[in-house]
């Protein structure tokens, strides 16, 4: 997902998406709003960030400094084989990352680190993201092979991708072989489907091909102003996901990345949509996702009492379930960000920038 130059996130629209826009003969807002650069991106706000939470690690293992590794949670190690994507989502949380692609040697070293380093003794999941790991299928196969050999404690490997939406032809027999069933762990595939209109026939076929590998598919929809911020749009989307056997896992509030305020609803609007999804009878409770913020200390699903304050800069104070002492033990070298503090019970509280003019919610 890297593609920033001089602080500007480059526009990148895959040939497949360009063809779909041309074939339509009219604007397709569900694509344009996600991929076409907007002049509003030049407008910044105080407390917006160039990147989401900082969780990179640079451990030295077997005499080498590792690249492409992040960690925030006790059970999960994050690996980035590449920061390249087939297209650039304008709301991307990793648009300011440096361009990086790991070698086979790099990935095998990470697998050994995952399996043997003392700080990873509780790791049971590996989340493979980037960029988009399915853009370079050889890397994902090298990593899966290495994890199977060197990290026997890993039970689940999750792979985050938008390739089926952005370039579905890539989901071919070669990719299916790379994602084949493994003896040591199961594979889950995470995707961001934000609007029913994205589900062209080729896209549906690509997701079906991924399911044929035996992988479990789940979705992390990003709530975006003007795209999917109505109840009817979300009901249509989550019904369709269920019909495709894709679990609706998260409804993410759009992260306060620099220049992205025009994409963001208020947190209160997101909470109200989430409440109506669960309490309207319009959809089954089986398809209701968790409404979640990506804060500077990690993901925080919102529950009653999660929001405990608001300041004059539209920042919300969020109570989390993360303990500082545990985080410090899980992630050697982790530092408390300036936006967070530890409460009297040892839990982290963190400030989160709401959309401009938003209301607090609860």
pLDDT of residue 72: 87
Is residue 31's pLDDT more than 70?
yes
pLDDT of residue 360: 47
CB-CB contact of 325 with 350 (8 Å): no
Model confidence at 278, pLDDT cuts 50, 70, 90, reads confident
pLDDT of residue 361: 45
pLDDT in tens, 210-246: 999 999 999 999 999 999 999 999 999 999 999 999 9
pLDDT of residue 265: 97
pLDDT in tens, 290-322: 999 999 999 999 998 999 999 999 999 999 999
pLDDT in tens, 10-22: 999 999 999 999 9
What the block records as the tokens of 160 is: 């985050």
Which domains are assigned to the chain?
A: 4-353 (3.20.20.70)
pLDDT in tens, 131-147: 999 999 999 999 999 99
Is residue 3's pLDDT more than 60?
no
- Among 51, 62, 57, 100, smallest CA distance to 78 is for 57
Estimate the share of the chain in helix, then strand, then coil, as percent rounded to the nearest 5: 35, 25, 40
pLDDT of residue 282: 82
pLDDT of residue 333: 82
pLDDT of residue 281: 82
What is the model's pTM? 0.93
CB-CB contact of 249 with 190 (8 Å): yes
What the block records as the tokens of 176 is: 């299916």
The predicted model gives 183-199 an average pLDDT of 97
- Among 91, 268, 76, smallest CA distance to 162 is for 91
CB-CB contact of 222 with 192 (8 Å): yes
Average pLDDT in the chain: 92
Local structure of 105: helix, strand or coil:
helix
What the block records as the tokens of 192 is: 């961001």
- Among 253, 204, 247, smallest CA distance to 228 is for 253
Model confidence at 362, pLDDT cuts 50, 70, 90, reads very low
Q: Is 125 exposed, middle or buried (0-12, 13-18, 19+ CB in 10 A)?
A: middle
């Amino acid at each position: 997902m890297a593609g920033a130059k001089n602080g500007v996130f480059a526009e990148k629209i895959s040939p497949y998406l360009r063809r779909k826009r041309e074939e339509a003969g009219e604007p397709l807002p569900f694509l344009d709003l996600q991929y076409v650069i907007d002049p509003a991106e030049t407008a910044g706000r105080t407390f917006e960030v160039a990147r989401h939470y900082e969780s990179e690690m640079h451990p030295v293992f077997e005499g080498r400094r590792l690249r492409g590794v992040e960690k925030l949670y006790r059970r999960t190690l994050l690996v980035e084989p590449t920061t390249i994507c087939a297209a650039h989502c304008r709301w991307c949380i990793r648009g300011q990352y440096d361009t990086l692609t790991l070698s086979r040697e790099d990935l095998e070293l990470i697998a050994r680190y995952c399996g043997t380093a003392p700080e990873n003794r509780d790791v049971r999941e590996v989340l493979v993201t980037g960029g988009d790991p399915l853009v370079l299928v050889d890397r994902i196969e090298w990593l899966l092979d290495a994890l199977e050999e060197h990290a026997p404690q890993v039970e689940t490997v999750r792979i985050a991708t938008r390739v089926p939406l952005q370039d579905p032809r890539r989901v071919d027999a070669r990719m299916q072989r790379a994602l084949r069933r493994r003896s040591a762990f199961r594979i889950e595939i995470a995707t961001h489907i934000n609007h029913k209109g994205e589900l062209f026939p080729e896209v549906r076929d690509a997701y079906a091909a991924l399911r044929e590998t035996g992988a479990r598919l789940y979705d992390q929809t990003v709530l975006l102003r003007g795209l999917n911020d109505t109840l009817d749009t979300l009901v249509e989307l989550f019904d369709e996901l269920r019909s495709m056997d894709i679990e609706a896992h998260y409804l993410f509030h759009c992260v306060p990345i620099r220049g992205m305020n025009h994409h963001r609803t208020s947190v209160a609007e997101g909470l109200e949509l989430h409440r109506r999804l669960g309490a309207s009878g319009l959809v089954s409770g089986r398809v209701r996702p968790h409404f979640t913020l990506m804060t500077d200390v990690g993901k925080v699903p919102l529950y009653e009492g999660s929001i405990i304050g608001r300041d004059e800069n539209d920042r919300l104070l969020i109570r989390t379930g993360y303990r500082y002492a545990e985080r410090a033990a899980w992630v050697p070298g982790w530092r408390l960000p300036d936006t967070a503090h530890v409460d009297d019970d040892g839990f982290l509280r963190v400030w989160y920038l709401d959309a401009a003019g938003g209301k607090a919610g609860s």
